Amino acid sequence: MNQTIQELIAFLSLPQKIIITMHRDPDADALGSSLGWASYLAGKGHEVTVISPTEYTANLRWLPGIEQVLIYEKASDQGKCKRKIEEATLICCLDFSALSRLKDLGKVVQDAQAIKLLVDHHLEPEHFAKWMVWDTNAAATAQLIYALVKEMEGNKPAQEIFDKGMAECLYAGIMTDTGSFRHGNVTPAVHLAVADLMLTGLDTSRVHRLIYDNAPLSRLQFLGYVLSQKLVVLPEYRTAYMVLTEAELQKFNSSTGETEGIVNYGLQVENVVMSAMFIERKGEVKISFRSVGSFSVRDLASTHFNGGGHKNASGGRSEQSVTETVATFLRVLPSYQSELLSVD
């Protein structure tokens, strides 16, 4: 057992006031790992508050415990969030490596007096936390939370540690961050963790259905529009990209989260190894990048679009117009052509 975990166990031997937070626009890994960790800590007698910097998507509203999550950007929650953070003795930062990923909540967390714990699997973490459980080889932060809890509990069988709700939360994070177990980050440890969680009675097909097969008709119609009208393929760069303006989002009444995962469709096109999606919303452009094989979209995102993430799945943001942002993307593409063409 490493020193960080030993110190954490000693600290948690007494009741604490704990905040758990995650990156803005949280996905299933951010929320699932946070809610699973929150359930475990609450079961140990701690006072636990989960705070998301921004709203989460509709397909995650079923996650056990999500009704207790506070949304910092909501005016009705902000005062309570600040008060809870001021009173906290421990702030757990899950699934992000830089405080800027918390949007406006970042400065509040940075200034807080509480001890900070970072649990994450992204590259190049900022060193703002006293304790770090960090492993870039992990497929998901939910996998790290699973391993952390198991170690803290002396590797007891899963059914003696996790209840079904906790298992659902952690499985949701692992499943989505591995692309339903098809990405290159899937290791034997991933499958062993899931097999262990299934001993709780976890229904994996139910979790998959609630996340991926639970969309309103409007979302499917929107997807049809994007794929038929907005998908551009550049064979000379083995690249596909899509651009959505704020006007188009309003036309289809597309809420935050309804664009989640659409970028992956670009990789289904024959011979494409990189897919990008540009979304104009609330005065900025959010960019999603996906790739296969050896091509690192993380390098592209961090170099040109104030972003980062993983080698094959990264994001970025731009304060330029959507037209200028796409123009920048098309301008830098030639410098990556040889790398894109060499992917097996």
Q: In 211-328, where do the E strands start and end?
A: 232-234, 239-244, 274-281, 284-291, 308-309, 313-318
User: What global pTM score does this model have?
Assistant: 0.90
Name every residue whose Cβ is closer than 8 Å to that of residue 239 and which is 6 or more positions away in sequence: 233, 272, 273, 274, 275, 276, 333, 340
- Report the distance separating Cα 303 and Cα 290, nearest Å: 16
Which CATH class name applies to 217-341? alpha beta
pLDDT of residue 219: 87
pLDDT of residue 137: 94
The structure tokens 């339903």 sit at 180
pLDDT in tens, 24-59: 999 999 999 999 999 999 999 999 999 999 999 889
Burial class (CB in 10 A: 0-12, 13-18, 19+), 30: buried
pLDDT of residue 183: 85
Sequence ranges of the domains in the chain:
3-212, 217-341
DSSP notation for 173-207: HHHHHTTTTTSTT--HHHHHHHHHHHTTT--HHHH
- Report the distance separating Cα 24 and Cα 89, nearest Å: 22
**Residue 19: how many other CB atoms lie within 10 Å:** 26
Q: Which of 181, 179, 186 is nearest to 291 (CA)?
A: 179
Element (H, E) at 91: strand 90-94
Rg, C-alpha atoms of the chain: 20
pLDDT of residue 270: 97
Pull the structure tokens for residue 129.
Answer: 């936390």
pLDDT of residue 283: 86
Pull the structure tokens for residue 98.
Answer: 């830089």
Supply the angle between the helices 141-152 and 188-198 in degrees, to the nearest 10.
60
Show the low-confidence residues of the chain (pLDDT under 70): 1, 256
Torsion of CA 281, 298, 242, 282, to 10 degrees: 0
DSSP notation for 106-175: HHHHHH--SEEEEEE-SSS--S--SEEEE-TTSS-HHHHHHHHHHHHTTT--GGGT--HHHHHHHHHHHH
Pick the CATH number of 3-212 from 3.90.1640.10, 3.30.450.20, 3.40.50.360, 3.30.70.270: 3.90.1640.10
- Report the distance separating Cα 138 and Cα 90, nearest Å: 24
